[in-house]
Amino acid sequence: MNRYSRHIILSEIGQAGQDKLSKSKVLVIGAGGLGCPVLQYLTAAGIGTIGIIDFDIVSESNLQRQVLFGASTLGINKAKAAKARLEDLNNTILIKAYPEKLTHKNALTIFKNYDIIVDGTDNFSTRYLVNDASILTSKPLVYAGIYKFEGQVSVFNYKKGPSYRCLFPKQPETGSIPNCSEIGVLGVLPGIIGTLQANEVIKLILEIGEVLSGKVLYYNSLNHQINLTKVNRSEKEIQKVMDTKTVFEALDEEINCEIPIRIISIKDAINKKNIQWIDVRDTNVNPEINHSEVLQIPLKDLKQNLNKIELGKEQILFCQAGIKSKKAASILQNHKIHSSFSLKNGACEVMKYFNNKNYDR
């Protein structure tokens, strides 16, 4: 029995449709919550060439939703781990792993090799980069974004349709809208939303049904509320991107010139002398740490409170899981304060330390 027989017997697909799928090349950016279901269904559907770009490694907290990974792939690059799993699912197609970060420098070159781009990224700077590179290379972009129990899906740059910038022209400031690792996400949600993306990719290729272009779909998994909002193409926004064409590859240095953040464990932190503890979580988050040695500056207020940083000391920045504290360290770096560390462990460890310390006294 043919692997694709259930496709081929559909009059809307047939052998001709299946051939279209096998001739298509799709690039998936990010093999995370969205990327995993997208990759799984595109591979099963027999898309001929699939590219996977992800610089990150598989960690245990990914396994709650990133269904291509397991115990045996912990610590392995996600693009490579996904490729290995998908080759078992379908060994008749070509899967290419890019175990690297997508940058302005490499985006155009990579995008040119594919017909369709799928956005499974988890931050705004990469989302805008993916959008802009899709415009510059004239590739349709199957977009999705998620937040806790809600998701958005749309197809951009399709047949003179709108782009992501036509929906949200201004890139939100880093840290202004949290991502899944900071606030959590229902594991099944990216499964639902990513599957919608895979569905759009297949419709695009087969030219069947109504492609989700010119509108953004909003879905809430808690109450099944669905909204379809019309999005018009903004020539002004598209032109702004087109104007960057000649300098696009050089844009990286401005955006990605991060100085590596120093990460410290609680054990090493408490052995240091002359340090300033800074809690960068929002206020009223558990566990609350009210200790005279701990300064509270929520991440969003950090820039306005740089005067509270004691320059003669080293700062130990901490949050719930070590994500916000990294951003805080990067903000301090940008303001020429290089004496800070981001604490690897979260607030619970800090609380334990201060509780024991008080006890010792």
Minimum distance, C-beta of residue 272 to another protein, in the bound complex (Å): 33
Nearer to another protein, 17 or 190 (CB): 190
Per-position x/- string for 297-326, each x denoting binding to another protein as judged by CB under 8 A, each - no binding? ---x--------------------------
Minimum distance, C-beta of residue 107 to another protein, in the bound complex (Å): 17
Nearer to another protein, 5 or 174 (CB): 174
Backbone angle region of 117, left / alpha / beta, with phi > 0 → left and psi within -120 to 50 → alpha: beta
d(CA 7, CA 1): 12
Minimum distance, C-beta of residue 58 to another protein, in the bound complex (Å): 15
119: contact with another protein by CB under 8 A: yes
Query: Which own/partner contact pairs does 177-180 have at CB distance under 8 Å and 24+ positions apart?
Result: 177/124, 177/147, 179/122, 179/123, 180/33, 180/122, 180/146
Restricted to residues 222-261, the positions that interact with another protein (CB under 8 A) are 227-232
Rg over CA atoms, the chain: 23
281: contact with another protein by CB under 8 A: no
Q: Is 304 exposed, middle or buried (0-12, 13-18, 19+ CB in 10 A)?
A: exposed
168: contact with another protein by CB under 8 A: yes
Q: How many beta carbons lie within 10 A of that of residue 135, not counting itself?
A: 23
At which residue do the structure tokens 């990974």 appear?
A: 69
Minimum distance, C-beta of residue 215 to another protein, in the bound complex (Å): 8
132: contact with another protein by CB under 8 A: no
CB 329 within 8 A of CB 175: no
33: contact with another protein by CB under 8 A: yes
5: contact with another protein by CB under 8 A: no
Q: Which of 47, 51, 150, 213 binds another protein (CB under 8 A)?
A: 150
